[in-house]
Amino acid sequence: MTTRVLVTGGAGFIGANFVLRTLVTRPDVQLRVLDKLTYAANPETLSAVADRVELVQGDIADAELVDRLVADTDLVVHFAAESHNDNSLADPSAFVQTNLVGTYTLLEAVRRHRVRFHHISTDEVYGDLELDDPARFTEQTPYNPSSPYSSTKAGSDLLVRAWVRSFDIAATISNCSNNYGPYQHIEKFIPRQITNVLSGIRPKLYGDGRNVRDWIHVDDHNDAVWTIIDHGTIGETYLIGADGEVDNRTVVETILELLGRPADAFDFVTDRPGHDRRYAIDSTRLRDELGWRPNYLDFRAGLSATIDWYRGHTDWWQPGKAAVEAGYAATQQITG
């Protein structure tokens, strides 16, 4: 039987990878994307599959549109969000509107039409850890978000939990660590540094460069999402992570080395206000209860493949490069 899936944010980084991978792995699924096509979307990403995926340009906070689309679907996978911390520090308004009001609008439609809902969220809802702390985030870690972005994601998670408890909707939540891979917007750390080097610009490290992120390949994230949709318990939260802790300086040095540049050919720039020090996910629950395992176990190899993708797809990212760098240059000074 065909499952009709509505993918919100399906023209962005993780949502588009979800769409492209699902087309290959799930021939029984019929996909429709609802995406506002903000600056973060690149419609080119889905152009090759336009005959197989309907792309509806619209806002998840548009209650009438959302109601019509949800009425005609079996499952909503909710990726749409304002996703960049630096932007949320410059102007939080779109984050409140999309991440909170947009998620609320979807939940109300799901409640009316009794449709299965999976909510995509982030490990940033848990705040951060010290570099020398042996602890990692688990499903029991208290929420403690730091930025306007992560606080609106935390709020959206709590809305989903409340709608499960109060209105008995069939929802699950996943909180994942930092994703890397193809089709990621060049404002984000890894693609920014890769495309900097490819453009003859020195990579830029915030602060002392020692902040740690827990990297996972986007395909591993999306496989975990399907595992939770298929086998997860309704109302429950699952953390997704692939034991990929690396500090930012090491990531930049590896990119430089893989591109044949000196390992110290980078600049330190002004730190991000409130910059979370370290994220680390303990994904034992997902592995033990649902049997998920990551496939990308070698970060250097995954990074190398990602570099190759950006090298081979300059048409995809080059048109926006100068504007992204001009935006950063307006707020960040070189410090070392």
Buried (b) or exposed (e) across 59-85, using 16+ Cβ within 10 A? Answer: bbbeeebbbebbeebebbbbbbbbbbb
Tell me: does residue 9 bind ligand NAD (CB under 6 A).
yes
Verify whether residue 39 is a known catalytic residue. no
At 21, is the secondary structure helix, strand, or coil? helix
The structure tokens listed for 327 are 């935006």
Member of 120, 190, 212, 239 binding ligand NAD (CB under 6 A): 120
Tell me: does residue 245 bind ligand DAU (CB under 6 A).
no
Helix-then-strand count for the chain, H and E: 13, 13
Member of 22, 73, 83, 254 binding ligand NAD (CB under 6 A): 83
Member of 118, 213, 217, 278 binding ligand DAU (CB under 6 A): 213
- Which residue stretch of 37-45, 162-170, 203-211, 296-304 sits at the interface with ligand NAD (rule: CB under 6 A)? 37-45
d(CA 10, CA 72): 17
Contacted by 192, from ligand DAU, ligand NAD, none: CB < 5 to 8 Å by type: ligand DAU
The structure tokens listed for 299 are 């970060």
DSSP 243: S
Tell me: does residue 15 bind ligand NAD (CB under 6 A).
yes
Active-site option among 35, 123, 157, 219: 123
Contacted by 98, from ligand DAU, ligand NAD, none: CB < 5 to 8 Å by type: ligand NAD
Active-site option among 149, 238, 279, 310: 149
Tell me: does residue 214 bind ligand NAD (CB under 6 A).
no
Tell me: does residue 18 bind ligand DAU (CB under 6 A).
no
Strand partners, 122: 176
Tell me: does residue 6 bind ligand NAD (CB under 6 A).
no
Strand partners, 213: 246
Active-site option among 82, 124, 223, 276: 124
* C-beta of residue 35 within 8 angstroms of C-beta of residue 15: yes
Residue nearest to ligand DAU (CB): 122
CB atoms within 10 A of CB 40: 21
Q: What are phi and psi for residue 39, nearest 5 degrees? A: -55, -25
Measured CA angle at 208 (ends 205, 214), to 5 deg: 70
Tell me: does residue 325 bind ligand DAU (CB under 6 A).
no
Contacted by 36, from ligand NAD, ligand DAU, none: CB < 5 to 8 Å by type: ligand NAD
Measured CA angle at 119 (ends 113, 125), to 5 deg: 145
- Residue 3 belongs to what H/E stretch? strand 3-8
Site string for ligand NAD, 155-184 (x = CB under 6 A): ---------------------x-xx-----
d(CA 283, CA 37): 32
Least Cβ distance, residue 62 to ligand NAD (angstroms): 8
From the number of C-beta atoms within 10 Å of its C-beta (0-12, 13-18, 19+), residue 236 rates as middle
Tell me: does residue 152 bind ligand NAD (CB under 6 A).
no
Verify whether residue 279 is a known catalytic residue. no
Tell me: does residue 36 bind ligand DAU (CB under 6 A).
no
Q: Which CB atom, from 81 or from 107, has the smaller least distance to ligand DAU? A: 81
Site string for ligand NAD, 241-270 (x = CB under 6 A): ------------------------------
Active-site amino acid positions: 123-124, 149
